[in-house]
Structure 1
Amino acid sequence: MDGVCRDSFGLLNNSIFNVWTCSLCYMYLFPTEKLKFNFNRISPGLIDVDVRNASDLKSTEYICDSLDEYDCTRWKDCCRSAEQCCQHQRDTPFPTKKKVCPRTWDGYSCFEDTYPGDTAKISCPSYMKYGDLRGHVEKSCTENGTWLSHPYTGKQWTNYTGCVTIKSISGVVNAEVSANAFSLLLLVPSVAISLTFR
């Protein structure tokens, strides 16, 4: 297993894992952005970009051109976390107990081997938009030694609801509504002036 890392889709060679997860970080963090993901696990990546890791200057500059500085930093942090997760997976000995939910990177966070019936609980990642760093992420290992699947998608599921509080979202919504209301207040007099001198 040396040189192999696991994400929620399965096992990958270390170098492919870094490209795959860094590209998925972009897709998960910015689903509406212009760069699209190549889902070929043999040669994954963001289409037209060869991303080997977040420290590859040429590709990160190209990708960060599609983002503002804050989002670029979030993306790089996610990529570095995935790389660190892979390194940790390779450095950690496998448990002696046969049946465990395997260590994995789920697209945002790194989870250790977890025994059946247990729930892994970790801190929220810093790069989640509107995330509350005081919250926790949970990933449940079923009694049969597989990660819990989402009832609708059938894919491995991680509970991030502890990371996004109503208070943090309502603060953002209130700020956006206030800014829009203020701009409308300023727009009315400017329209009136321009109509007067027309």
Structure 2
Amino acid sequence: MQNISSRDFSWVRRVHTLGPQGTNCERAARSWSSRRSLDVPVALHRSMEQAADEVARRDCEVMLSVVAYPDLHSIIYTHVRTMRLLDIFIMDTDEMVMAVPPGRDAEPQVCATHPAPQALLPDRIERRFVASTALAAQECASGKAEGCITTLAAADRHGLRVLHRYGPVPMGFTVHGPAARDTLSPAATCCRAYL
């Protein structure tokens, strides 16, 4: 068994994860980078599949995913020859909420939600799936949905009114990167593109 917590990540030049701005994945990517003493940009993507495709072509970049991502298993097996699980950690999500546009008091009949937290919605509410909880807040704010399941930060950013608070959720996050990094020593030469 490998001790991945002591692994050296000084070779990482960028972290790819799920966007848009304000997702739990972005928050986790920034936290992971900070805890690893990495001053690197975080690239936000419309899907984890898109993030994985980017990382699979690079030798000094990683993908951070939430374990609750519905198709994480497919991403792993699609890139089994080029990417490996390099790190895993637990972190609380931002507080999860059901939110509605300002001025709305009634419970929504249709809510925008990422598939992962959809169980927070009562069965009577119709689900309209979007790519992230941050995007759910955008859809609600723009009038494309009557309500949403999102983070408190995203609800605040878009001026939404919180109807229900579910609190933060302890969540697992994974970091995947180049398969070659699984065998390289910390002193190995890194990233011809960044030299």
Bin for the TM-score computed over the shorter chain:
under 0.3
> Which structure has the higher relative contact order (CA within 8 Å, separation 6+)?
2
TM-score between the two structures when normalised by the length of structure 2: 0.25
Higher fraction of helix: 1
Structure of greater Rg: 1
